[in-house]
Structure 1
Amino acid sequence: MLSINHLSFSYVENLVLENVSFEVKNGEILGILGLNGAGKSTLLNLVAGFLPLAQGTIQFQNAPLSQQSIAMLETHNYFYPHLTAQEYLHIFVGNSQIIDLPTWAEMLDIPLNQEIEDFSTGMKKKLALLSILILDRPVMIFDEPFNGLDLESSFLLKEIILKLKAKGKIILLTSHVLETLTGICNRILWLKKGSVERIFEYESFENIEKILKEDWTKLDTLHHLL
């Protein structure tokens, strides 16, 4: 189990997260929903260990979460220039034999011998996805993973995430598309202005849009304008 307890974080004097607490069980997908600036990326970066933990605790299996237990697919990925896809992936493979690179590359339409700087946005996303699959960590974070993917690749990614869930992985998933989260998650956390506003259980997913609209005051302005 992944346990986030009383997590708060500030950039200088700007409070971004305040007293965030939740748990994710093994084999569970938790969606994280929130407007821009709600603190989603900061939360994920704290869990991934990319930001220093100033207040609160992050535990996995009743011990402090180690970066060796996490793999994260970021929204935007950096690649060294002039590397081929195969050279990039071998950074992650090391001595591991847990994954069949040629078969995965063929399925994902990744040309292993081509330089990454010539890849499209979707190809780069799939390459980054394959790199975290190679790591095979128990906690997996997907930050806007469907951005830049075509329909076929989006369907394939959804199936991959469900397979990871079936293997007992703990998965955190963000998306700006509500239907993406309701179609794949066990629960959805609503992050509002840095705090957990509510956690929706699967049985209440059909009410999420209505609840969000009730909270969105800009709709009142829109009704007056139109």
Structure 2
Amino acid sequence: MTKLSVNINKIATLRNSRGGNTPDLLKVASDIQKFGGEGITIHPRPDERHIKYKDAYDLKSIVHTEYNIEGNPIPNFIELVQAVKPTQVTLVPDAVDAITSDAGWDTITHKSFLKEVISEFASNGIRTSIFVDPIEKMIEGAKDTGADRIELYTETFASEYVKGNTASIKPYAECAQLAIDLGIGVNAGHDLSLDNIQFFKENIPGLLEVSIGHALISESIYLGLENVVNMYLHRLK
């Protein structure tokens, strides 16, 4: 089974647009789990434009499934993760002003830095995943950092799939198999949707977890959150 972790950043964006606490981020996280979601993902950024650092602490008592915190391991982020101790931390090389994640790590150039950060998290019992492009040498580099998992950055697959280019799955499948051969777990995320998730799941060996936010929340506006969570779960089976 591939687990579905729902990224709730967009819920926080909507809340912050008006101030106050509507929609209630904690209630949404609780409801997603009640609807069958198998994890909650957040990606706090330094400017707190959607998820606030306080949210990360408040969610700790709400998330009883897998709790995944994504972000660039700057000092404030490292401090947050060590304090909250989520199930998993996903390291993403975001620029401070990035609208959304747009590239994976160069795990060769940044090997020493990643290795040091991952060692810190491991000493606190936190599983680590590295956001990477589907490039085999980057998977090999991730192995050398001591990461438990990789998260395949799926934007290229999603943009090509909508054009009918199903061959775009090939490098992802090859990198997933390489990760398995190296003893690394495989996650995936970015622009996965109800339209492409089943095809992706069926062609990626050993896919442990997908993190989906923007598409899932957008689809839920039309179809309803409970319904959409279960539509994803059905496709992932």
State the TM-score, normalizing by the size of structure 2.
0.38
Larger Rg: 1
Structure number with higher relative contact order (C-alpha < 8 Å, ≥ 6 residues apart): 1
Higher-strand-fraction structure: 1
Higher-helix-fraction structure: 2
